[in-house]
Amino acid sequence: MYRKEESTPIPPSNFELPFEGKLSEDNRWVIMADLIPWTEFEDEYSSGFSADMGAPAKSFRMALGALIIKEKLGITDRETVEQIKENPYLQYFIGMSSYSNETPFDASMLVHFRERISAELVNNINQQMVKKMLDKTSRLALKKKTEDPLYETLRERGLEEPALSPEKEDHPPKNRGKLILDATCAPGDISYPTDLNLLNQARKQTERIIDWLYEQIKGTLEKKPRTYREIARIDYLEVAKKRRVSQKDRRKAIRKQLQYIKRNLSYIDQLIVVGASLEHLTNRQYKMLLVVAEVYRQQLWLYENKKQSIDDRIVSLSQPHIRPIVRGKAGKAVEFGAKLSASYNDYYAFLDHISWDNFNESGDLKAQVESFKNYTGYYPESVHVDKIYRTRENRAWCKERGIRISGVPLGRPPKNVSQEKKKQALQDERIRNCIEGKFGQAKRRFSLSRVMAKLPHTSLTVIAITFLVMNLSTHLSRVFCAFLCLFFQNRPFLAIDIIERYDFAIYRQQKLIFDLA
């Protein structure tokens, strides 16, 4: 049951504390709480609950806020609950009206939060949040143009930013902005899979299932089926402990493990015929039995046909949805996780396409450009991508819409290349580095390098939350950098000197963001 509270958001000054004092309005959690559109998506979240049955569910702000806190701080579920218990700013962030020394929910509730909040919902929140920030920035830009005395001094010196001129405001260009596209992989939390290790784990699971089924009909059979588990483990360790294993020894060890699994699966069928029932197995045990049977089928086919790959190959028994993603990167030719396609625009990154199966990211270019148009109202002036995106079809599609695609044209390169074209190609590659930096930030600072969630849908939610928190962190970093403008607030002569030497657009952008905060 979900109870929607008809109340306006509580300002930080009204948050009740057990001691004297008030929450600071320039705290990062207070700033982020004001940026996220909590109420706009609450109806979509509450639609999955009954109106009059069940215990009252936690609010949407509490559920999403807890996931954001976990990702932002890079901590576990239990540590997240402890941090919320100890920090009044975190309690305000998740929508509480007063400080409480009790935990607002159990740590296991974060699993349910990830199940209830889909990746699609998080992406919609991310887009709406970024749009809100950009709209406020643009509105304040027009206001500051007429009110700030520094702009008047710049106009007198002819240093005004051309993008703010009235001519371009009245007649906006058809295509505007730069769109950067790329794809990456979010590895799951699994050990590096090998055929021998996978078969050894599958054999152990069949032995546990045999033990469980035999307990049901212990008095019916005279003897328990012999599984040779000790001999099978010795055969596995004999090869697994070797530093270097020949192909002949590896195939021999795989053949032995396949025989053990085949014998165990036949014992399970016999126990079912005698009287054991699979209904007494837990959901996890029954799912594991199905996964083991599929692993045996795939590995037997690979062994008999001497192949190295097969469709929908299972590489983890606990997470059978994970697939190997061949990317051809230095140091990591193959990664095991979800492949995602992302876009980057105006310092913010968006998750556009995600799948557990490998796909060609060049097929996403049209959908990503159309999504950019639906989001902004116009096509981008240029699209910056790597070589795999520059197909003939994509080039022709972009040319019809007046979009310049980065990279050299197809065909034999000309003998004499002008310096402008060389400079343009170099500049395009520099611009494309922005999204590579975003991927590095998501993997080094946040949890995209190792997704700890185990279920397929909760893993997608965690990946989407990473992009949302990364955009929040980007906005906060720009706000903190804007504090430099305080130094120039009453010193316009110093600001003008820096603008003449560097770039007015950087100063204007940071100053507007500071005024927003």
For 245-275, write each residue's pLDDT tens digit: 999 999 999 999 999 999 999 999 999 988 8
pLDDT digits (tens, 9 = 90+) for 311-360: 999 999 999 999 999 887 767 889 999 999 999 998 899 999 999 999 99
Find the distance separating the first CA and the last CA of the chain, reported in whole Å.
37
CB of 111 closer than 8 Å to CB of 77: yes
How far is C-alpha 230 from the geometric centre of its chain's CA atoms? 43
pLDDT digits (tens, 9 = 90+) for 197-239: 999 999 999 999 999 999 888 878 778 889 999 999 999 999 9
Which pLDDT belongs to residue 53?
Answer: 80
178-189+321-452 maps to which CATH number? Answer: 3.30.420
Query: Residues 66, 71, 76, 80: is their CA dihedral positive or negative?
Result: negative
Which pLDDT belongs to residue 212?
Answer: 92
pLDDT digits (tens, 9 = 90+) for 428-481: 888 999 999 999 999 999 999 999 999 999 999 999 999 999 999 988 887 665
Which pLDDT belongs to residue 264?
Answer: 96
More confident residue, 487 or 20: 20
- C-alpha–C-alpha distance, residues 213 and 501, integer Å: 79
Which pLDDT belongs to residue 111?
Answer: 94
Lowest-confidence pick of 38-52, 410-424, 441-455: 410-424
Q: Is the pLDDT of residue 149 over 70?
A: no
Lowest-confidence pick of 13-27, 150-164, 418-432: 150-164
Which pLDDT belongs to residue 152?
Answer: 58
With a CB cutoff of 8 Å and minimum separation 6, the contacts of 110 are: 66, 67, 70, 77, 80, 81
With a CB cutoff of 8 Å and minimum separation 6, the contacts of 137 are: 509, 512, 513, 516
DSSP reduced 3-state for 188: strand
More confident residue, 432 or 3: 432
Give the long-range contacts of residues 473-480, CB within 8 A, separation 24 or more.
473/72, 473/445, 474/347, 474/348, 475/35, 475/133, 475/513, 476/28, 476/31, 476/32, 478/347, 478/509, 478/510, 478/513, 479/31, 479/513, 479/514, 479/516, 479/517
CB of 155 closer than 8 Å to CB of 359: no
Q: What is the mean pLDDT of the chain?
A: 85
Q: Is the pLDDT of residue 298 over 90?
A: yes
What value does the mean pLDDT take over residues 97-104?
A: 90
Percent of the chain surpassing pLDDT 90: 60
Beta pairing class for 382-384 and 404-405: parallel
Confidence of residue 1 (pLDDT cuts 50, 70, 90): confident
Beta pairing class for 332-345 and 178-187: antiparallel
Place of tokens 């999955």: 48
Q: How far is CA 454 from each of CA 108, 189, 417, rounded to the nearest angstrom? A: 14, 8, 52
Q: Is the pLDDT of residue 102 over 70?
A: yes
Q: Is the pLDDT of residue 48 over 90?
A: no
DSSP reduced 3-state for 430: helix
Q: How many CB atoms lie within 10 A of CB 498?
A: 14
With a CB cutoff of 8 Å and minimum separation 6, the contacts of 14 are: 97
**Residue 415 has which token pair?**
């003998």
Give the long-range contacts of residues 399-405, CB within 8 A, separation 24 or more.
401/175, 401/369, 402/174, 402/175, 403/175, 403/369, 403/379
Q: Is the pLDDT of residue 486 over 50?
A: no
What is the 8-class DSSP label of residue 382?
Answer: E
Which pLDDT belongs to residue 3?
Answer: 75
Confidence of residue 93 (pLDDT cuts 50, 70, 90): very high
CB of 340 closer than 8 Å to CB of 448: no
- All structural domains of the chain with their residue ranges: 12-116, 123-172+481-516, 178-189+321-452, 195-305
- C-alpha–C-alpha distance, residues 296 and 302, integer Å: 10
- C-alpha–C-alpha distance, residues 311 and 313, integer Å: 5
Percent of the chain surpassing pLDDT 70: 84
What value does the mean pLDDT take over residues 179-190?
A: 95
**Residue 500 has which token pair?**
């003449």
Which pLDDT belongs to residue 506?
Answer: 45
Q: How many CB atoms lie within 10 A of CB 1?
A: 12
What value does the mean pLDDT take over residues 106-112?
A: 94
- C-alpha–C-alpha distance, residues 228 and 239, integer Å: 17
Which pLDDT belongs to residue 313?
Answer: 94
Which pLDDT belongs to residue 512?
Answer: 47
What value does the mean pLDDT take over residues 148-174?
A: 52
Confidence of residue 427 (pLDDT cuts 50, 70, 90): confident
